[in-house]
Copies of this chain bind each other. A is one copy, B any other.
């Protein structure tokens, strides 16, 4: 109940601080007797790690996952998969200057107040490094879902004001072709230029990640509180820096009337439009699921800022360290991982709806 677990039947529990010995987790409820491609899991981690391109943080974290249990002779045993990702590139001294200071819009203040004691190094538990564990569990979930025909297309659809207005399913190759993980080449160029510009200012910028999921069978989602999109929303909002979530038409539905918005059924059970975003009454309807996640500009900037220390003294904090001006490209695998965890969990839950 303390918040470090996610999922009901397929369940991830994570641990670890940014600058401790390792982060990691336990995945319980993994369906048994399924072959896992461990290389593919590591590749997902590589997509998340810093230092992939000019756009991302120059830190080099190897982010090498070590599986400790639950996999035997290449196949899942149905018992929990324990894993660790050692923290190899840890420079705790980098953070001495924030030991007694609350960085603006970080979690330093709230952690200190809530717990009375915190590992301040690199943000400790509140660091986005924790999401690497999610990527591991998500990569496993994705493999299982792919075996039943569920596919994901996740990409950066907006950086600052530069937007790709599309809910298309782009192949992974087109997404990965761009360092900014936007599959439209021209818009990607603009995004990159904008991020470089912001980076040179020592500032940061936000954006949105779009996720499209196809092949979802009809029937996933549990009314009334555990509606599929409600759980997807929670999963996304639990990712660092996320400030908004919308499913299907989302906020743009405000500009429509019911007669425009309603998705008319075709005789094959599909719908003409998909303003519902693949979910009706909280349950998947077989159409592609699409949702959009808003990330704020990250709090760490390379500029001086006013703030306070633990004693309430007003001080100026210098902008230094190694950080991304725009986290959106690295957020893509995290969004996809959380979506996969949710989908697999609901797939398993749905099995219990009939004897």
A332, chain B: closest CB distance, angstroms: 16
What are the interface flags for A223-260 relative to B under an 8 Å C-beta threshold, 1 for contact and 0 otherwise?
A: 11111011101111110100111111111011111111
Q: A5-B11, A31-B355 are in contact. Are A297 and B79 (CB under 8 A)?
A: no
Q: Which of A53-61, A171-179, A277-285 contacts B (4 or more CB under 8 A)?
A: A277-285
Do residues B32 and A147 form an inter-chain contact, with CB atoms below 8 A? no
Do residues B251 and A244 form an inter-chain contact, with CB atoms below 8 A? yes
What are the interface flags for A183-218 relative to B under an 8 Å C-beta threshold, 1 for contact and 0 otherwise?
A: 000000000000000100101111110000000001
List 15 additional contacts besides A107-B281, A110-B281, A230-B238; criterion CB under 8 Å: A1-B352, A3-B225, A3-B227, A14-B224, A33-B116, A113-B218, A113-B285, A125-B223, A126-B224, A161-B255, A203-B258, A233-B236, A267-B314, A269-B308, A351-B352
Q: Which residues of chain B have C-beta atoms less than 8 A from A267's C-beta?
A: 308, 312-314
Which of the listed residues A13, A22, A113, A231 has the most CB atoms from chain B within 10 Å of its own CB? A13
A39 beta carbon closer than 8 Å to chain B: no
Q: A4-B224, A238-B226 are in contact. Are A115 and B253 (CB under 8 A)?
A: no
Q: A29-B352, A233-B237 are in contact. Are A80 and B4 (CB under 8 A)?
A: yes
Q: A11-B1, A29-B2 are in contact. Are A294 and B227 (CB under 8 A)?
A: no
Partner of A3 from B117, B218, B223 at Cβ < 8 Å = B223
Partner of A78 from B68, B117, B207, B233 at Cβ < 8 Å = B117
What are the interface flags for A266-300 relative to B under an 8 Å C-beta threshold, 1 for contact and 0 otherwise?
A: 11110100011100111111000000001111111
Do residues A3 and B226 form an inter-chain contact, with CB atoms below 8 A? yes
A34, chain B: closest CB distance, angstroms: 6
Report the Cα distance A262→B21, complex, angstroms: 30
* 16 CB-based A-B contacts, threshold 8 Å: A2-B9, A4-B26, A16-B68, A17-B70, A32-B114, A72-B118, A72-B119, A72-B124, A77-B118, A79-B115, A104-B263, A107-B223, A113-B269, A243-B253, A258-B300, A265-B306
A337, chain B: closest CB distance, angstroms: 13
Do residues A258 and B33 form an inter-chain contact, with CB atoms below 8 A? no
A88 beta carbon closer than 8 Å to chain B: no
Partner of A243 from B114, B148, B246, B306 at Cβ < 8 Å = B246
Partner of A247 from B30, B243, B254, B276 at Cβ < 8 Å = B243
CB-based nearest B residue for A341: B225
Do residues A161 and B254 form an inter-chain contact, with CB atoms below 8 A? yes
A305 beta carbon closer than 8 Å to chain B: yes
For this chain, the copies found in one complex come to 4
Report the Cα distance A105→B261, complex, angstroms: 8
Do residues A68 and B82 form an inter-chain contact, with CB atoms below 8 A? no
Do residues B6 and A223 form an inter-chain contact, with CB atoms below 8 A? no
A28 beta carbon closer than 8 Å to chain B: yes
Q: Which residues of chain B have C-beta atoms less than 8 A from A282's C-beta?
A: 3, 107, 110, 126, 238
A349 beta carbon closer than 8 Å to chain B: yes
Do residues A312 and B269 form an inter-chain contact, with CB atoms below 8 A? yes
Do residues A247 and B244 form an inter-chain contact, with CB atoms below 8 A? yes
A89 beta carbon closer than 8 Å to chain B: no
A322 beta carbon closer than 8 Å to chain B: no
A135 beta carbon closer than 8 Å to chain B: no
